[in-house]
């Protein structure tokens, strides 16, 4: 992620058609956006395609970007809209189908330090926990726990009071806990090593 000042400078350069600045913006936000969209739709290829499309749209319309707002918020909003449009065109994916995350994927940081088997276990747990959530709890959990956004920022993005966001987070964590318990998950000692 870029800090606010670097981000603003990079956006300025990208506005003037600086290719390296455009590449820097993409590099900074491609992975977070793909991860966010993947956890919402459950399909890697779709998430990658939508993330690319979101970047194309955002960078082509950089002139209209208001510096008062966060670039990532704008990018994620467009990505989410593209996902909604794509989902309206295709058959909706049931929550239980979201077990597509490939174990030992070379792009997962965990893969670099843990064995493929352990990664597979924890990945399955993530799938189960996230799959137990509906809308808008899934989105809120992803924004908070995956993207690291503040409660205030999530509230502004979704147009909800902070109290409602906190309440959703609390309920979502309870629901995920319940789903993990019910899943007959692996021995925690194996996962937590």
Partner 1 sequence: MPEPAGSSRAQRLLVRVLLALRSEARSRPQSLSDRARAEALADRIMLELPRSVLPIGIAALFIVGVVCLMPIMRDAIAAGSDKQGSTVASVVESGLRNQGAALSDGIGALREVVAPFAGEGCPSALENCPHDAPPCDAAAPFSRS
Q: What's the CA gap between 58 and 133, in Å, rounded?
A: 29
- Given the structure tokens 């189908």, which residue do they identify? 97
Check if the beta carbon of residue 100 is closer than 8 Å to that of residue 43.
Answer: yes
Place of tokens 């939508």: 50
30 contacts partner 1 (rule: CB under 8 A): yes
Cβ–Cβ under 8 Å, residues 83 and 158: no
- Nearest Cα neighbor of 51 from 62, 67, 61, 40 is 40
Q: Where in 43-82 is the site for partner 1 (CB under 8 A)?
A: 52, 55-56, 59-60
Least distance (Å) between residue 142 CB and partner 1: 7
Task: Choose the binding region for partner 1 from 82-90, 150-158, 160-168, 174-182 (rule: CB under 8 A).
Answer: 174-182
Closest CA to 140 of 132, 150, 127: 150
Stretch that binds partner 1, among 23-31, 81-89, 92-100, 159-167 (CB under 8 A): 23-31
Q: How far apart are alpha carbons 176 and 20 in whole angstroms?
A: 41
Please report, as residue ranges, which positions from 94 to 113 form the binding site for partner 1 (by CB under 8 A).
Answer: 106-110
169 binding partner 1? (CB under 8 A): no
Which residues make up the interface to partner 1 (CB under 8 A)? 1, 17, 19-20, 22-24, 26-32, 35-36, 38-39, 52, 55-56, 59-60, 106-110, 122-123, 125-126, 129-130, 141-142, 145-148, 173-178, 180-181, 185, 188, 191-192
């Amino acid at each position: 992620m870029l800090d606010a000042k670097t981000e603003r400078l990079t956006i300025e350069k990208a506005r003037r058609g600086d290719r390296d600045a455009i590449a820097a913006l993409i590099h900074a936000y491609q992975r977070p956006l793909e991860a966010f969209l993947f956890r919402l739709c459950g399909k890697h290829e779709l998430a990658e395609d939508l993330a690319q499309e979101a970047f194309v749209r955002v960078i082509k319309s950089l002139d209209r970007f208001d510096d008062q707002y966060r670039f990532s918020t704008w990018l994620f909003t467009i990505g989410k809209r593209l996902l909604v449009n794509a989902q309206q065109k295709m058959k909706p994916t049931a929550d239980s189908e979201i077990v597509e995350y490939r174990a030992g994927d070379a792009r997962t940081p965990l893969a670099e330090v843990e064995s493929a088997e352990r990664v597979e276990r924890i990945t399955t747990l993530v799938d189960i926990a996230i799959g137990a959530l509906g809308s808008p709890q899934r989105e809120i959990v992803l924004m908070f726990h995956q993207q690291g956004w503040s409660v205030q920022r999530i509230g502004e993005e979704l147009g909800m009071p902070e109290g409602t966001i906190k309440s959703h987070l609390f309920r979502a964590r309870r629901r995920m806990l319940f789903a993990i318990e019910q899943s007959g998950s692996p021995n925690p000692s194996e996962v937590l090593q």
